[in-house]
Structure formats: C-alpha cells, structure tokens
Amino acid sequence: MKNTLRQVFHSSKFVAGFIIFVGILLLITFYPLFHPGNPLDMIGVGTFAEPGTYVSLYDSVGTDTETLKLPDAADKRLDAVLGKEDRIKMVAWLSAMEVDIEGLDYMDTEALMDLWRANYDDSARPNGMTKAERNYYKRLNESLSSMGAGGQMKVFENDAAGEEQQIATITPEDYVNVKNVANTKTLVLGTDNFGRDVLKEMVSATRTSIMIGLIAGVVATAIGLLLGLLSGYMGGFVDDAIMFITNLFTVVPSFILLILISYSIGQEQRGASVVALVIGLTSWTWTCRSVRSQVISLRNRDHVNLSKLSGHSLARILLTDILPYIASYVVMAFILQVSSGILSEAQLSLLGLGPKTTEVPTLGLMMNWAMLYSAHLNGSWWAYFPVILMITLISFSLNLMNTGLDQVFNPTLR
Amino acid sequence: MKGYRKYFGKKIVWFLITLVVAVILNFLLPRLMPNDPVAAITGKMAQGVTDASASQRIYEKYQEEFGTNKPLVEQFFIFVKNLFHGDLGTSFSQYPRKVSEIIASSIAWTIALQFPAIIVGWLIGNILGALAAYIKKGFDKVLLPLSLFMSSIPAFGMAVILLVLFGVRLKIAPTAGGYNYDMIPNLSWPFVKSVIAHYQLPFWSIVLVSIGGQAVGMRSMSIYELNADYVKYARFLGIKDRTIVRYVFRNAMLPQITGLAMSIGTMVGGALVAERVFSYPGLGSTLFTAISGGDYPLISAATLIITLMVLTISFVLDIVYGFIDPRVKAAQFDS
C-alpha cells in the first residue's frame, strides 16, 4: 500500500492534478472563514458591477485630506472624463481644419490635447459645418479647459432644519488615504446580474458542485461496483439479468434520462442533493460493465477457487479475494464519475433543470444566470469566465490524476 | 453468411428492445410528476379567470386533449398509436402548434450541426492520438496534457469562449441563431451564405471539445497495439515501418468505433447545451424553451427524438463495426 502510494506520487501528472485539486479544496475551505456571510446576499443594486475596489464617495468627503501636487494629475483627470464620442468629434474638427493628424491615436489624450490646444480657434469656420456644430465645439472647448485645470468643489449637507450647510471644499489637489475611508469594498470578480459578489458566490458554488460530484460519484460507483461484482462473479442468470439492464441504460443516453427524471421530480423537490442522487443513479452503467469484465478475468484464479473450496461466503470472497485486485481500477472509475457528475450538473442547470435556485449556488446555476442575463454579449466576462475556468480546472485536475494513476498501474502507457 | 446474420439479428433485436424501453420511459417519467402537469398548465392558461366553473371547464378540456382522464395503460396505447401516425400532441408554450411540426423544424439543424462536428472531431482526435503514440517524445509530452485540458473544457464553456472571442470581440462571426434574423429560409445564395456564417462557431466548438477525449483514448489504444507481439514479430521480419503503422492504426481504430458508439449519447448531450449558448434553432434550444415553458408534450417529444437519433447512430455503428472487425468475419467462417 505504502509502496503503491509512493509510486503514485512519483507520477508527475498525478502530482500536478493533485496539487490543483488540493488548491481548489483549500480555497473553498479557507475563503469562507476569512470572508463570512451569505454568498447569495445581493450587495449591489445594479447588475454586473465591474471587478475592482469600490471606495465610498460619501465617506471619503469627511476623511482627512493630504495635499499632493502630482504633475500629471490634470491629464489623467481629462483622460478619464473625456468620452470616446468627444474625442472622435475633436479629431473630426482637426481634420476639417486640415491639421496634420497622421499617426494620431485618439485615445492618446496628451497628443490629442496638444494638437487641440495648438489649433482650436473658435472664430474658425471649417467647411460644411453648421452653426449648431460650431457651438458644440465652443462648449466642448470651454469644458475641456475647465476640466484640465479643475476648479474647487463645494459639498453641502442638509442639516436638521433642512438648511443647506457647506461642510467641505474640495480642491483638485486633495487626496485621502484609502485606509482612512470608513467604507471600501474590493470585489475581485465584480458582481453578477443580481448584484452578488461573484467571487464569494463562486467559492460557495464550487463547494456545492464538488459535493454534487462526490455524491453522484459515490452513488454511481457503489451501484456499478456492486452489480459488476455480482454479475462478473456469479455469472449465469444473475449475470444475464444485470447485463440486460446495464446494456439497456448504456444505449438509452443517460443525459436524456437525467433530463426526464429531473423534470418529473419538479422544481420544488429538486435540491442539490437530489440532483446529485439522480446523476449518480443514471451514470453507473459503464462502471458496472468495466468492473464486470475485470472480475471475469479474476474469478478463476487459484486463490479465489481455494476460497470457494474453503466454504467462504460470497460476500467474503468478493471483498477479500476480488475487490483488492480491482481497487485501483475502481478508484480511477470513481474519479471519472466525480468529474462527469460535476459536468452533468452544469449541463442540467444550463437547460433550466438544475437545483432549485433559492438555496445554494452551483457552478451550473451561475453559468445559467450569466447566460439568461446575456453576460457573454454585454462584456461582463467576470460573470461567466471564472465559472468556466473553475469547472475546467476541476475536471482537468481529476483527469490528470486519473491519467497519472493509469500510467502507474499500466506501465506500458508511460 | 450465417455468422453475419446472427450478429445482425442480435443487434436488431437489441435495437427494438431499447426502442420499446425508451418509448415507455419517455411516456412514463413525465407522468410520474408529483403535481399534475395538466393542472399546472391550466393554472397558467387560465390566469385571470375568476370563475371557478370556467377554469374547471378549461381543465377538463385539457384533460380531454391530453387524455389524462383515462387509465394509464389506455393512455400508453393511445400514445403509441399516435406515435405511429407521427402525432406527438399539441405544444403548450407555442399553442396551437403541433409538437411534430416544431420538432420537424428543428431536427434538421441539430443533425446538420452535430454529426459532421462529432465525426470531424473524432477523426482529428484519432489522428492526433495515433501520432502521439507513434512519434512520442516532445509531441506526446505536449499533446497529452493539452488534450486532457481540452477535453476538460465543458462543451458550453467552449461555446461561450468562441462566441465571445470571435463573435463579440473580433466581430467576424454572428453571435446567435442559425441564419440572419431578417431572412426567411429559402434556397437563395445569401441565405445559404448566412447559414454557413452562423454554422462556423457552433461547429468548431463541438469539434474542439471532442478532439481532446478522442486523442487521449486513441493514444492509449495505439500504445497498447504498438507493444503487441505481432508488431514486434513484424519488425523482426523486417516489414516496412509504414505497413506496420497501417496495421496498428487499423487495430487501434476498432475499439475507437465502439467507443464512439458508446459515447455518442454523452457527446450529443453536451452539444445540445452548446446549442443553447448560440441560440441555434435546433433541438437543444427547443428543449430549453420547452423546459422553461413547462411544455411537457414538447419535452417528451424532443427527448424521444434525441433518444431515437442516438439509438439509430449506435445501431448503424454496430452494423459498420460488424463489417470491418475481422473477428466478426472470423466468426462467419467458423460457422
């Protein structure tokens, strides 16, 4: 046993898969400890807030300020405020005035502003420009010059009497330390369509999905192993009967069976564990087939015959004389079942047949929500890409472990 | 011919048995729902109807239409009888369209999308796997982890990634549907061009996903064969390497064909979900809208058709296998 384990951990593929999987397990164990709270809390009111650190505007007003004179502050401010449309209009004006704009990138604020400041003239009348358009450029130029320089801002608050009281004056050189602002929130993966913290939700979803995979894997492997052992060892009528059922459910696609059963259970009864159970109940057939063929090659070995002659019970022969020889095989089958269980849940959820939506998030449900709210079309990559990556990483790590084990136990494959 | 006849006879009997079981399951499972589906649909259809006797009449009308007021066994025979006439009932969510009409309009899309994609993926995967087993060294070191990674990406995940990359970011492919939404299906050149443009992304997403798994399987098979005694013996005899590779490839290919027959159900399942991502007008999208609309005649029909498709493919593969596997031929000479 010890020797086998050492051999297994010498396989680089197994170790790589193992490390990824343990990493995921550590994440789902420790992240909730440091960031407690319900993963389904809707902290955002809007949909799909971008990833990043959010600083409370309200709190930052009262916070002690430091004066910093940063040379490029004005340009950066302009850069952030100047919209794409205004930039395109500016380029249009410049080209209408036949200014050389070769090689100008309109997103390069500094170059654009240099050209603009050097060439803009409100008395100029570019060809084919209406008065309304000229007025637009006049306004644009005014706001451009005020934006860059930046005037003071005054903040008022309604006091108890309903009078407006000035509480602060903000200059462009006032800075607050983020540490001193009472409320900031870092959303590593932004929020989803319901305004939930995607990272927190995904950690919880990963945990549920792995649980679903494990339950489905245990159920499928247990049924497949039991039926495979009985069918392979006993032969005769038992074998025929079991193989009939197995062949039947191999040909009828298990995914369709899964859809039909999940649908007939109904939305209300469909918790995460029920879904896991159903997945397990529909996916045991290939485990049964492969266990059976392994057992058939074992059942006429001398030690099995000896056991039989000694009058040992069926259960004992199966458990002590046959099971140890196929244990490695069963472990590999189990790993594959876990991985396909997680995938099945995700696919079911995408068809709208996942676990009921109010209790727990799963990776499939998150994916389903992202698709329902068209996250993939409106550029909210954080709502679906981490989920796809997580599913891929989980099954990749399991597949790697499986291949590693396969190569240890079948040395020709190395 | 006796060996063949026995082999095919067995396969045909199996096909029929699984067909009957599939029909029974398809009939039975939706009817095992704990809450009465007809009541649920009446509730939806009779929204705002305050008169109790009116909604009772609606309920009875639906019971009549779906025959749920008759005993289960009788319902089953009516179901089978209608099935033979191609009558799959009336859709709820798209009332009063016939289910068979909806299925007929979507099945061609699914077949045209999935089978070429799965076959192409299977071929490319097998060639890559065989090459990895034969060349080994660097190629194998790169290909095996890469194939494992590719086969770990779920079909819908690959679909979303391709969609965002080529459809949304690079804008070189349309993002949804089977053809431009402002077109009416006909046989003109612009329509065909639009269909081909919409075909690309779903097609490649299915191909890319199926390559990985097939390559891994073929690699193992080819390595087993390359180490077999007959290969060593052939080398010993000085037979050309190219000839040996051909033998090895042929022998490793056989289990891959049965492998395809066994995994076609899973692959179709994954591809159905990918269809939803692209809103491709096939059975996958139909199934999705049917499920979200609680349309159980349509769900039942869609799953039945998919089952039929998978059963037929496995059956055809079994028959093909019978022709090309030398062992079936050997059985023929024995008898």
| Cβ–Cβ under 8 Å, residues A193 and A47 | yes
Strand pairing category for A174-175 and A164-170: unpaired
pLDDT single digits (tens) B203-231: 998 898 888 888 888 888 888 888 888 88
Rounded to the nearest 5°, which phi and psi values hold at A157?
A: -135, 145
Contact B310 A253 (CB under 8 A): yes
- Residue with the bigger pLDDT between B335 and A220: it is A220
Domain that holds residue A176: 68-185
Token digits of residue A313: 């019970």
A248, A251, A265, A403: best mutation site toward chain B, by most B Cβ within 10 Å? Answer: A251
Give the residue among B207, B197, B11 at the shortest CA–CA distance from B127.
B207
| Cβ–Cβ under 8 Å, residues B129 and B217 | yes
What gap in Å lies between CA B302 and CA A253, rounded to an integer? 13
Has residue A129 been placed in a domain? yes
- Residue with the bigger pLDDT between B322 and A20: it is A20
Mean pLDDT for all residues in chain A: 85
**Average pLDDT of the segment spanning A134-146:** 78
Domain termination residue (choose one: A162, A185, A208): A185
| Cβ–Cβ under 8 Å, residues A242 and A231 | yes
Token digits of residue B193: 């061009």
Residues A167 and A210 occupy one common structural domain:
no
pLDDT at A19: 94
Contact A399 B145 (CB under 8 A): no
pLDDT at B199: 86
Contact A399 B287 (CB under 8 A): no
**Alpha helices (H) in B46-71, listed in sequence order:** 52-66
Residues A200 and A176 occupy one common structural domain:
no
pLDDT single digits (tens) A316-371: 888 888 888 888 889 999 999 999 999 999 988 888 888 887 778 899 999 988 98
> Which residues of chain B from 239 to 278 reach within 8 Å of chain A, CB to CB?
262, 264-266, 268-270, 272-273, 276-277
pLDDT at A412: 65
Q: What residues in A contact B288, CB-CB < 8 Å?
A: 350-352
Size (chain B), residues: 335
Measured in angstroms, the CA of B278 and the nearest CA of chain A are apart by 10
pLDDT single digits (tens) B142-194: 888 888 888 889 888 999 999 888 888 888 878 777 777 776 777 777 778 88
Has residue A249 been placed in a domain? yes
Residues A377 and A350 occupy one common structural domain:
yes
Residues A314 and A406 occupy one common structural domain:
yes
Q: Is the pLDDT of residue A307 over 80?
A: yes
- How would residue B335 be classed by pLDDT, with cut points 50, 70 and 90? very low
Has residue A267 been placed in a domain? yes
**HSE (CB half, 13 Å, CA atoms) of A204?**
21
pLDDT single digits (tens) B120-154: 998 999 888 888 888 877 788 888 888 888 888 98
Which residues does A154 contact at the CB level (< 8 Å), separation at least 6?
A: A166, A168, A169, A170
Contact with chain A for residue B294, Cβ under 8 A: no
Has residue A49 been placed in a domain? no
Measured in angstroms, the CA of B85 and the nearest CA of chain A are apart by 23
Kindly report each contact of residues A372-378 with a partner whose C-beta sits within 8 Å and lies 24 or more positions away, as own/partner: A372/A193, A373/A47, A373/A48, A373/A192, A373/A193, A375/A48, A375/A192, A375/A193, A376/B160, A376/B163, A376/B164, A376/B168, A376/B277, A377/B168, A377/B175, A378/A48
Domain termination residue (choose one: A130, A158, A185): A185
Residues A175 and A304 occupy one common structural domain:
no
Contact A381 B18 (CB under 8 A): no
- How would residue B243 be classed by pLDDT, with cut points 50, 70 and 90? confident
Token digits of residue B70: 């008759």
**Average pLDDT of the segment spanning B76-85:** 83
Specify the range with the lowest mean pLDDT, choosing from A214-223, A230-239, B92-101, B206-215. Answer: B92-101
Residues A247 and A314 occupy one common structural domain:
yes
Residues A87 and A230 occupy one common structural domain:
no
Residues A160 and A273 occupy one common structural domain:
no
| Cβ–Cβ under 8 Å, residues A249 and A285 | yes
| Nearest residue of chain A to residue B164 (CA atoms) | A376
Q: What residues in B contact A256, CB-CB < 8 Å?
A: 265, 269, 303, 306-307, 310
**Average pLDDT of the segment spanning A192-212:** 91
Contact with chain A for residue B153, Cβ under 8 A: yes
* Dihedral (Cα; B86, B89, B95, B96), 10-degree rounding: 60
Token digits of residue A97: 């005035």
Has residue A280 been placed in a domain? yes
Residues A262 and A394 occupy one common structural domain:
yes
Residues A137 and A215 occupy one common structural domain:
no
Residue A242, judged by CB atoms within 10 A of its CB (0-12, 13-18, 19+), counts as buried
pTM comes to: 0.84
**Average pLDDT of the segment spanning B28-33:** 74
Q: Dihedral sign, CA of B27, B30, B36, B37?
A: negative
| Cβ–Cβ under 8 Å, residues B272 and B284 | yes
Rounded to the nearest 5°, which phi and psi values hold at B157?
A: -65, -45
Size (chain A), residues: 414
Contact A392 B152 (CB under 8 A): yes
What gap in Å lies between CA A143 and CA A140, rounded to an integer? 5
Which residues does A208 contact at the CB level (< 8 Å), separation at least 6?
A: A272, A355, A360, A361, A362, A363
Contact A259 B287 (CB under 8 A): yes
Burial B5-32 (b: 16+ CB within 10 A, else e): eebbeebeebbeebbebbbebbbebbbe
What gap in Å lies between CA A164 and CA A170, rounded to an integer? 17
- State the total domains in chain A: 2
Please tell me whether residue B20 adopts helix, strand or coil conformation: helix
Residues A246 and A386 occupy one common structural domain:
yes
Please compute Rg for chain A using Cα positions. 33
Which residues does B304 contact at the CB level (< 8 Å), separation at least 6?
A: B22, B23, B26, B88
Contact A367 B307 (CB under 8 A): no
pLDDT at A17: 92
Strand pairing category for A52-55 and A184-187: antiparallel
Token digits of residue A135: 């007025």
pLDDT single digits (tens) A221-233: 999 999 999 998 8
Contact with chain A for residue B311, Cβ under 8 A: yes
Of A38-52, A220-234, B308-322, highest mean pLDDT:
A220-234
Residues A77 and A37 occupy one common structural domain:
no
Has residue A52 been placed in a domain? no
Specify the CATH number for the domain of residue A284.
1.10.3720.10
Domain termination residue (choose one: A142, A163, A185): A185
* Residues above pLDDT 90, as percent of chain B: 1
| Cβ–Cβ under 8 Å, residues A264 and B29 | yes
